[in-house]
Structure 1
Amino acid sequence: MEKMIRAEKYTADQMTPKERKQATEEKSSIDRLPVIPFIGEITGKLTGTTTDEYWHDAKKMAMSEIAAFNRLGHDELSCGPNTIGISEGLGAEICYPKEGMPYFSGRFLTDYKMLDQMEPLRTDSERMKFFREAGEQIRDAADGIVDVCPSIGGPFTIAANLRGCEYFLRDCRKEPEMVHRLLRIVTDSMKNAIDMISGYADGFRMADPVASPALISPKYFREFAFPYLKELMEYGFQKIGQRPSLHICGNTYKVWGYFREMPIRAISLDNIMDLAKAKEELGHQMILMGNIDPVGIILHGTKSELQQEIRREAGIAKDSEKGYIMASGCDVPYQTDWKKLDIWMDEVRKLTL
């Protein structure tokens, strides 16, 4: 397995990502802003790995993530199981194209009677074994240089994908008891995933995009999303010793109050959110992450537009009380030119803190 070579490749960096993270937590000076581009399958472009191979060949997944770090020198590595892996392990059918993002081929849970036969995903299932193998390989290469923080998805989103989003959102009103039954199975599956990653993870990520206020009211967020998110965060904190980062798509301002009640290490903000407002209202409690537009700026923007946006966001958030990590507002599109990511990292290294 290829090893990390940051020290040789990035002479402009005076710290490793691990050193930078520690200094941020200790409120010491850092050499540059931390950067976490949300990349996954796109890393396979660097190793000639298709999306299907990335998700089914642990060695190729690990090699792709390592190749991305060796090119960019970014501040955190990740892998699954995330929403895709846990949903698939519970029965969902996933389509894996050669190029592009995986997607659900249809809803799995067509009748809630199926819950009588459903059990939480086990850590020794074949799908979980795959992610353990990939994660351990990444950790072996990254240890001592950069953190490995797997994603476990989000309970509301996984449940919605299993049931079918439109049906699931309707069920929150018409069949709340069944929704809670499904969420319990999903949450227990995610706890098992936390147990699985705890042997090699330095932290973990959660992403619950269907829990967005664009899709559910704050009342439904409080009933169906918040308690399960909080339970998982507290469980993961106990098991791994690190609070998670959380991403929810869209305008989340209406549920920021609930964010303050959860043990969130870093809140990842959609690109439509106001970083200045987040710094004022959340920055004293959690690290801010975000929030470069992944489509308008990273995918379609010019070099100058990307550089300007990097400088603008750094100017707003670099002095946030608990710290700031520059990140994309959501997943970097598969079609993105890798040169854009090079520009991003080069520009961050030019910034004066």
Structure 2
Amino acid sequence: MKILKDELTPKERAILYKSGKEVDRLPCSFSLSETAPVMYGLNISDYYYSSEMMIEMERNLARDFNVDSMGVGLGLRGIGEALGSKLKYPKDSVSFIVEPVLKDYSMLDSLDIIDPYKDGRMPAIIEALKVLTDEFSNERFIGSSLAGPISNVVAIRGAENILKDTVKNKENLHKLLKYTVKCMLRYTEVIYKECGSSVSLAEPVASSNLISLVQFKEFVKPYLEEFVLGVKEITGSAPSIHICGKTKDRWQDLVDVGLSAFSVDNCEDLEEVKKAIGNSMGISGNVPPVEIMRNGSINDVMESVKECILKASDNPCGFTLSPGCQIPVGTPIENIHAFMNAARIYSKNAVKGKLCTF
């Protein structure tokens, strides 16, 4: 496959696109770092605590695919791990919780706010972000990601316990959520101070596949709002969010809390999202990561990218082309090249708020 070239750097593209100027193609984003090691013949388990491997993966992804996003994320379990939850690190798959730290709420008062300079894998991430900032900040914005409040408390206390707590232990769950937001803001504060890095959120537990709208409004919305306000105070701008699964009944709530952009799972329709909230926030999505990116052909990828561009490239607050969720292990490199080639072909001369024509 012939790899097409970009005319602008990711930073140039982002600045021009945000200001309403014409760019060579739409901004593109991948959630790939955590699953990238296998692509390069390395173990994911080695990646988690190695700043050197984190840096190497970002260099590789920038060199090989030139996607606009760059950075190292804390992941869905990073804060839980920093507080003492025990994780399993497979060689060829992402980590998972084997023993949550908060077995009983009597332990909560003894938990300190995290120290990103010492706890869990945060020191390795900070070191990697510093190097990436020094090396790439002239041409790229460097960022980090972390789990949202309700997804973090699952990593601290366990999914089954949290779902029970939404009914039987509401007071303590609210207390845990407030504590978790403080930890999240501490991490945000440190990486902004050390690297000038922005943050984004992943909040899979907030989907309607897992919790009702009533639960969302009580246990998710106020803590997202608290975090967004805190991030604005620290960095001057609001974070974006990705939520896996069905979310249609809570799109307006995401607008209400002041998020900058919403990354949409491929189970939702981009055109519907655009019509519902596109005047209030940017949207990102949503090529199917499994059916198309991992299991599809090059043609499948090209057609799916084209469909996303036709549905959402005229979003008034901007559109970023991306898969509907994290790129899974086993995705062919050729399909990632096809994704980027399709972006260059079908969104050439993109302008925010205008439909791409080809």
Q: List per-residue Cα deviations over 1:79-124 (Å, max 9, x = no partner).
A: 1223222110011111111211111113332211111311221233
* 1:184 matched to 2:178: yes
Following superposition of structure 1 onto structure 2, how do residues 225-244 of structure 1 map, counting pairs within 5 Å?
Answer: 225-244=220-239
Contact 2:38 2:92 in 1 (8 A): no
Give 1:30's aligned residue.
23
The question of whether the paired residues in 2 share the 8 Å contact of 1:44 and 1:61 is answered with no
Residue in structure 1 matched with residue 205 of structure 2 by the alignment: 210
Q: Quick check: 2:3–2:341 contact (8 Å CA) kept in 1?
A: no
Alignment of 1:170-181 (within 5 A): 170-181=164-175
| Cα displacement string for residues 151-170 of structure 1 (whole angstroms, at most 9, x for unaligned residues) | 02111011012211122111
Question: What is the match of residue 163 of structure 1?
Answer: 157
Residue equivalent to 2:339: 344
- Find the aligned partners of 1:132 and 1:106 in 2 and give their Cα distance: 25
Partner of residue 306, structure 2? 311
One-letter code of the match for 1:67?
Answer: N
Q: Which amino acid aligns with 1:165?
A: A
Q: Percent identity between the aligned chains?
A: 29
Length-normalised TM-score, structure 2: 0.92
Counterpart of 1:117, as a letter, is S
Gaps of 5+ in 2: 349-355
Q: Give, as a single letter, the amino acid of the residue that structure 1 aligns with 2:301.
A: L
Report how far residue 11 of structure 1 moved: 7.3
Query: Contact conserved, 2:252 with 2:277, CA < 8 A, in 1?
Result: no
| DSSP-derived class of the 1:149 partner | strand
Corresponding position of 1:72: 65
Aligned to 1:21: 14
Secondary structure of the corresponding residue to residue 150 of structure 1: strand
From 82, 90, 108, give the equivalent of 2:83.
90
Q: What is the identity, as a one-letter code, of the residue corresponding to 2:315?
A: S
Of 107, 116, 131, the residue aligned with 1:114 is 107
Aligned-residue CA RMSD (Å): 1.6
Which amino acid in 2 is paired with 1:275?
L
Number of residue-to-residue matches in the alignment: 345
SS at 1:251 equivalent: coil
Structure 1 unaligned regions, length at least 5? 1-8
Higher relative contact order (CA 8 A, sep 6+): 2
Query: Secondary structure at the residue paired with 2:49?
Result: coil
Aligned AA for 1:193? Y
What pairs with 1:290-329 in structure 2 (closer than 5 Å)?
A: 290-329=285-324
Residue 268 of structure 1, aligned match among 263, 266, 278: 263
Change over 3 Å in CA distance of 1:10–1:302 after alignment to 2: closer
